[in-house]
Structure 1
Amino acid sequence: MSDRLAPYGTRNVPRYTSYPTAPHFNEGVDGPLYARWLEELPAATRLSLYLHVPFCRDICHYCGCHTKASRRDAPLERYAETLAREIELVGEHLGTRHPVSHIHWGGGTPSLLPAARLEDLASRLGRVFELMPGIEHAMELDPRHVGAGLARTLAAIGITRVSLGVQDMDDTVQKAIGRVQSLEVVTAATRHLRDAGLTSINFDLMYGLPHQSRDTILETVARTVELRPARIALFGYAHVPWMKKHQRLIDEAALPAPAERLAMAGLAREALIAAGYVAIGLDHFALPEDSMAIALADGSLKRNFQGYTTDTGEALVGFGVSSIGRLPQGHVQNAADTGAWERAIQSGGLPIVRGFAMSAEDNARADIIEQLMTDYRVDLDAVMRRHGLTLACLSASLDKLAPLMADGVVARAGSVVSVPEDARPYVRVAAAAFDAYLGQAAASAIAPRHSMAV
């Protein structure tokens, strides 16, 4: 990577899985307002559903998710009961069975829910919503807890894609991050899933972990390529111990320096492309025949709270503790405290505690940022006109582009802004130029501090 561009890799900027980003959500959006937004949705609005299950058997040191450890099934049983009621409540406010094109279960480890609960929740979704033909129904899994029985259950409830949290395959790195899982464990999990007919498999990998080196990450990539998942996500570890206290268990002295992070990301990227994977946006890779590679080619690739996606939903409805939704009117987020979430639902209310009502300019900036993050190119004038606005609204953002253009992070031709190929690892920096809220005081009590751009 160019020495001129390298300093941009250490800038702290959002990941832009939403705009505005979650720290700027506010309490002006609550359950009654969300109920009205749901009731205003036209019956034909195509939905995407997200179900958050905040439980794992153990908490990995690196984890940035909203989850907690539970060795018992009783809390999961109770959680599933409340989740089922939340689904019914949302259905009551929608009024009709809206079509659904995408379902994603995240966590935590959602597959820890007992089989009967998984079956009940999947059945309930089918009753409340109209599941479209060819729906993508995905779930995140911990390979240490995937056996033949679970694989058959997932297939039976309609799961079509699974994501395995592999992260790294080096013994020393695994011990340092509190997630020891051998290559044999990952291989067995992959085999069980494929034997059950679940062939659309994703692997999540990470760079920037403690004790990781160029050699170890290339070895992890090599072992991954041998197992041939359809998609691979290569995330940079975000060390945010001020937000996730368990990350204090990680020895900061063992974390690779910024220049080494950059080198590892570049080497892993090159190795995956050499193995036949198509690079998708900032951090995803897919086999050429996979739907994500096809979406990149035909311009339909999207980005939401799950990262890069082929999701075609016009609105995202979230269920479960801390889950985030996105409707045409704005963003919503459920209570992050399980008790508060349960109490709201038991009283017949929707558990929304914060969100963001979007203006036309907010929607335009969201589109600009998404196009940069997915296509590395955006016609600013076309986007603004689509939202009934002019380029004058972006004058401050265009001023911010000037130093980025001088350094080659972005290029501009008229109203078209693009990110050159060698600068694409720094696309989040380019996107940040269009973030009108970056640097402003957050609506939350904790000021936002973001991870490094690469």
Structure 2
Amino acid sequence: MSERLLAKYSGSVPRYTSYPTAPHFHTGVNCDIYSQWLSELGAGNSLSLYLHIPYCDRLCWFCACHTKQILRYEPITTYLVALRREIEAVGKRIGKGARVTAIHFGGGSPTMLKPEDMVDLMDCLKASFDIADDAEISVEMDPNDLDEPRYDALAAIGLTRASLGVQDFDPTVQKAINRIQTFEQTKSVVDAVRARGVGSVNCDVLYGLPYQTLEGVGRTVSDILSLSPDRIALFGYAHVPWMKKHQTMIPETALPDVTERFHQSTFASRMLLDAGYEQIGIDHFAKPTDSMAIAARAGRLRRNFQGYTTDSADALIGLGASSISQLPNGYVQNMPATGEYQRMVEGDGLAAVRGIELSEDDRMRAYVIERLMCDFGFDFMPLLARFPAGAHDLITEARAFARQNPDDICRVGNTSFTITPEGRPFARTIAAVFDRYLETGAGRHSIAV
């Protein structure tokens, strides 16, 4: 990859886990509108639930999540009272017949919850929603939180997928990002959940961290491969200190430049491919037998706020402070501040503070951007069938961009638009071509490579 192409196409663009992206949400979408949208869900609709636990017992400097460090458990106890109230309120507003097919516990650190609180929270979900017997239940895990009673509680709530953040095993890198986690700790979690019947394990690895080297990234990936996870996410560190002040603790002079980031990414990717994993989109890898690899091969891969997913639910319901819901009508975000979130749900049980209602143009561009991020291209006939009113103009945009681009990062034919292998590292940049909101000036983003 030439330095010229890296410089030209690695600018700051969204990650496109939604379209329109979160910086374009507005306060015109409130609790009343959210309540109405929820009431329109019902028989025949499938639901996915995301529960946000916005607390950690340590704050990792690299993290860009909505979370805060606490040293006492009492704030969690208080928060869970509000979370259960929201669960009940949302469940009552959704029409009968909607069925939950997936539940994801994220954070923060959901494994900070006491075992009895994990079980109680799942009991509350079961009382408020119709949960399918084969629903996927995934939990983000911090090995530093876990013990035998918590493992037993995770098994009791029906855990099917364990997600472990690793980042990097190099002690120098771990110290720089305030994330001390040994390989032995990580292995113990993988062994413990597998011993309890959990059939799928995901590990997250980061490149672009302070003091990372190619050799260090290689050692971390080699260690991860020895655990034989079903899925591996290879994320580029997003340095956004203007949004997450604790990232100022990371020395910027220790961060690799865009060329080094690219080399780290391609080096790690090659190791994973050589080990037999299939690449999924821009930053995921999966065993060929994994459901995500199967969905990708079949053109059924999806992308939402959790990244790449096989989740095909009609609506994603976000529960907890800062959570975002994705409904047929549009997006809704809860109050991010935990104290204010708790005060809001004491009222009518909802805490929506902003969002956006989707226009037909939004839906069309969201479809195209998702296919670019998942399949590295889109076919014209399905687009025309879904959006007959606007598809011709968008296809004209695609043709114009491909024909005016001298770098062969994408191509256009009679029936499709395709990102070339050389252009795949810049999929986010190419997707941004179809983003009508990007030039409005709202929001800053991480670099694309």
What TM-score comes out, normalization by structure 1 length?
0.96
Per the TM alignment, residue 118 of structure 1 is displaced from its structure 2 partner at its CA by: 1.1
* Segment drifting more, 319-328 vs 386-395: 386-395
In structure 2, the residue corresponding to 1:439 is in which secondary structure? helix
In structure 2, the residue corresponding to 1:406 is in which secondary structure? coil
Contact kept? 1:55, 1:76, Cα under 8 Å: yes
In structure 2, the residue corresponding to 1:12 is in which secondary structure? coil
Residues 1:372 and 1:86: Cα distance change in structure 2 (over 3 Å) = same
User: 2:115 corresponds to which residue?
Assistant: 115
User: 1:449 corresponds to which residue?
Assistant: 444
How big is the alpha-carbon RMSD for the aligned residues of Structure 1 and Structure 2? 1.6
Per the TM alignment, residue 395 of structure 1 is displaced from its structure 2 partner at its CA by: 7.2
Query: What pairs with 1:38-437 in structure 2 (closer than 5 Å)?
Result: 38-380=38-380, 382-394=382-394, 397-398=397-398, 401-402=401-402, 405-437=405-437
Residue segments in structure 2 that go unaligned for 5+ positions in a row: none
* Partner Cα distance (1:163, 1:71) in 2: 24
After superposition, the C-alpha distances for 1:233-292 in whole angstroms (9 at most, x for unaligned) are 010001111000000000100000110000000000000010111110010011111111
* Partner Cα distance (2:444, 2:81) in 1: 35
After superposition, the C-alpha distances for 1:74-93 in whole angstroms (9 at most, x for unaligned) are 11111111111101000111
* Partner Cα distance (2:109, 2:344) in 1: 24
Contact kept? 1:378, 1:416, Cα under 8 Å: yes
> Percent identity, aligned pairs only?
46
List structure 1 segments (4+ residues) > 6 angstroms apart after TM superposition.
none
Per the TM alignment, residue 439 of structure 1 is displaced from its structure 2 partner at its CA by: 1.6
Contact kept? 1:166, 1:203, Cα under 8 Å: yes
After superposition, the C-alpha distances for 1:326-356 in whole angstroms (9 at most, x for unaligned) are 1110000000111221111101141100000
Contact kept? 1:281, 1:373, Cα under 8 Å: yes
User: 2:32 corresponds to which residue?
Assistant: 32
Contact kept? 1:332, 1:354, Cα under 8 Å: yes
After superposition, the C-alpha distances for 1:195-245 in whole angstroms (9 at most, x for unaligned) are 222231110110000000100000100000001111100100011110000
Per the TM alignment, residue 105 of structure 1 is displaced from its structure 2 partner at its CA by: 0.8
Residues 1:187 and 1:404: Cα distance change in structure 2 (over 3 Å) = farther
Residues 1:31 and 1:184: Cα distance change in structure 2 (over 3 Å) = same
* Partner Cα distance (1:50, 1:356) in 2: 19
In structure 2, the residue corresponding to 1:81 is in which secondary structure? helix
Contact kept? 1:361, 1:389, Cα under 8 Å: no
Letter aligned with residue 265 of structure 2: A
In structure 1, the residue corresponding to 2:233 is in which secondary structure? strand
* Partner Cα distance (1:96, 1:388) in 2: 33
Letter aligned with residue 450 of structure 1: H
Contact kept? 1:146, 1:192, Cα under 8 Å: no
Letter aligned with residue 444 of structure 2: R
After superposition, the C-alpha distances for 1:157-211 in whole angstroms (9 at most, x for unaligned) are 1111010010001011111111111111111122222222223111011000000
User: 1:445 corresponds to which residue?
Assistant: none
* Partner Cα distance (2:288, 2:436) in 1: 36
* Partner Cα distance (1:406, 1:418) in 2: 15
Contact kept? 1:102, 1:312, Cα under 8 Å: no
Residues 1:97 and 1:90: Cα distance change in structure 2 (over 3 Å) = farther
Contact kept? 2:17, 2:307, Cα under 8 Å: yes
Letter aligned with residue 198 of structure 2: L
In structure 2, the residue corresponding to 1:407 is in which secondary structure? coil
In structure 2, the residue corresponding to 1:136 is in which secondary structure? strand
Residue segments in structure 1 that go unaligned for 5+ positions in a row: 443-447
Residues 1:336 and 1:397: Cα distance change in structure 2 (over 3 Å) = farther
